[in-house]
Amino acid sequence: MIRVTENLPKIRDLLDKSAVDAGRRPEAIHLLAVSKKQPLEKILEAAAAGQRDFGENTVQEGIDKVTKLAESALTWHFIGHLQSNKTRVVAEHFDWVHTVDKLKTAKRLSEQRPEALGDLNICLQINIDDEAAKSGIEPDELADLALAVADLPRLRLRGLMCLPAIRTDFSEQRVPFARLRKLSESLALQGIATDTLSMGMTGDYRAAIFEGATIVRIGTAVFGPRNVQSDNRTE
């Protein structure tokens, strides 16, 4: 049996070690436990072990979990592709959206975010490897979108997110993450301050941390195999 309470300390230790090896502070890297296709019991087990941030990539499953676990005061991140007809329920239930890649989507989230919930944290998704099958904006579109999103009410632009092509060599894994970091630095030079790089998963988190990741998205290493195989790989 996969024990979440045994896995979490091991993963946190690995993240801490990677941070130290990269010359960074371990507390600067946050674990986002990707709970898609995982039962509520495992999420509660992780929460009891101190994990607060959870990621979901489908709207209906995510809303169901957010609602049923509302009393647990967890922080919920939407990390899947967001269709424009689903923005309202996401704006009403989630704390973060990592996958904004259109101004239309951002405007809808802004308009539909209940003021009582506070600002919705936003990351812009970059198609860092220019893959036709993946969502995300092209790097040269970033500045205009970031400027527009930063001005929208009830949203807080936190940073950037990417989902690079699979690589196995550590040096090669660092390349797309370095690109994302440099894009973040370019925004800073234009007066757009951000504090988040959502990048790195189970197979490449170490390379992401070496290039400045602040959020790493890890699922099966925390929870074990998913109940249903998902083709939408955000972890």
Question: Residues 199, 204, 210, 215: what is their CA dihedral angle, to the nearest 10 degrees?
Answer: 30
DSSP letter, residue 164: P
pLDDT at 226: 80
> Which residues, at least 6 apart from 214, have a Cβ–Cβ distance to it below 8 Å?
28, 29, 30, 159, 195, 196, 197, 198
Residue 138, helix vs strand vs coil: coil
The whole model's pTM is what? 0.94
pLDDT digits (tens, 9 = 90+) for 123-165: 999 999 999 889 999 999 999 999 999 999 999 999 999 999 9
Ordered by start, the domain boundaries in the chain are 4-222
Residue 125, helix vs strand vs coil: strand
pLDDT at 145: 98
Q: How far apart are CA 9 and CA 157, in angstroms?
A: 30
pLDDT at 212: 98
pLDDT at 122: 98
pLDDT at 231: 43
Strands 196-198 and 96-100, bridge-based pairing: unpaired
pLDDT in tens, the chain (235 residues): 568 999 999 999 999 999 999 999 999 999 999 999 999 999 999 999 999 999 999 999 999 999 999 999 999 999 999 998 999 999 999 999 999 999 999 999 999 999 999 999 999 999 999 998 899 999 999 999 999 999 999 999 999 999 999 999 999 999 999 999 999 999 999 999 999 999 999 999 999 999 999 999 999 999 988 875 544 556 6
* In the block, residue with structure tokens 């189970």: 202
Q: Has domain 4-222 been given CATH number 3.20.20.10?
A: yes
> Which residues, at least 6 apart from 138, have a Cβ–Cβ distance to it below 8 Å?
126, 127, 130
pLDDT at 230: 47
